[in-house]
Amino acid sequence: MSDSKRKILVLVEGARTDARLMKHLLVIYNIDVKYEIVSYGTNIYTLYGEMFDENDPSTIDLLQLLKEREPDPVKKLIFDDAYSDILLIFDFEPHANDFSPDKIRRMAEYFVESSDMGKLYLNYPMVEAFYHMLTIPDEQYNNRFVTLEELRAGSYKMRVHRENRNHDYTKFAINRSECNIVIQQNIDKARNLTQEESISDIPNQVQILTAQLTYLMQAFFHT
């Protein structure tokens, strides 16, 4: 499909940090296609309840579901359009009351194709992790983790602000070169987590999720 005919729906969790980051990346990489960035307004486990809990997700029209839950009549019109691709960008949030490994695994295994049911991308543990670098590049990035205690206490976002270059998200990864470095460091960290040794392969979402859940279960046993 030519770029002139493509239109992407980007469904993000939050209206501020999430939406701003996606718009920034689309501009930085000069993604010259039409797109809509829409905030879902709550966590991924709510989406699980609406699509998967006692339902066959393949029978649910995601656009219709989003339209029905959108209170703004003008924004409802967004979901009447046809989209060549749908991207879902959500936080992992293992501290959420409605979190469960089975829920998030089922969603990662379902949302695998952007041109069909949609493709899911997860932020570990949340979108702020993109900014959790003291420098660009950051030699300590692969060794930087967040604990369940931090997430439960709600202190992780404050930690990121302290440990973010310039302590200002708007001054972080301000050009394509810096974004390339941040993205490459995340790929390298994913390889490290999944023990993927091949530099030609990028771990997929299910591989990364499996590794993250393994670390999470180990943390549960030590709390």
One DSSP character per residue, 59-85 reads GS-HHHHHHHH---HHHHGGGGS--SE
Both 18 and 116 in a single domain?
yes
* pLDDT at residue 38 in the model: 95
**Side-chain-side CA neighbours of residue 177 (13 Å):** 1
Both 115 and 15 in a single domain?
yes
Nearest-angstrom CA–CA distance, 148 and 61: 35
Both 73 and 144 in a single domain?
no
Q: Provide the domain limits for residue 68.
A: 1-123
Domain termination residue (choose one: 71, 93, 123): 123
The structural domain count of the chain equals 2
SS3 state of residue 38: strand
pLDDT in tens, 82-113: 999 999 999 999 999 999 999 999 999 999 99
Q: Which residue has the higher pLDDT, 120 or 198?
A: 120
Both 80 and 3 in a single domain?
yes
- Provide the mean pLDDT of the chain: 93
Strands 7-12 and 85-91: parallel
pLDDT in tens, 17-28: 999 999 999 999
Mean local confidence (pLDDT), 123-149:
95
Mean local confidence (pLDDT), 185-206:
89
Q: How far is CA 130 from the centre of its chain?
A: 10
Percent of the chain with pLDDT strictly greater than 70: 96
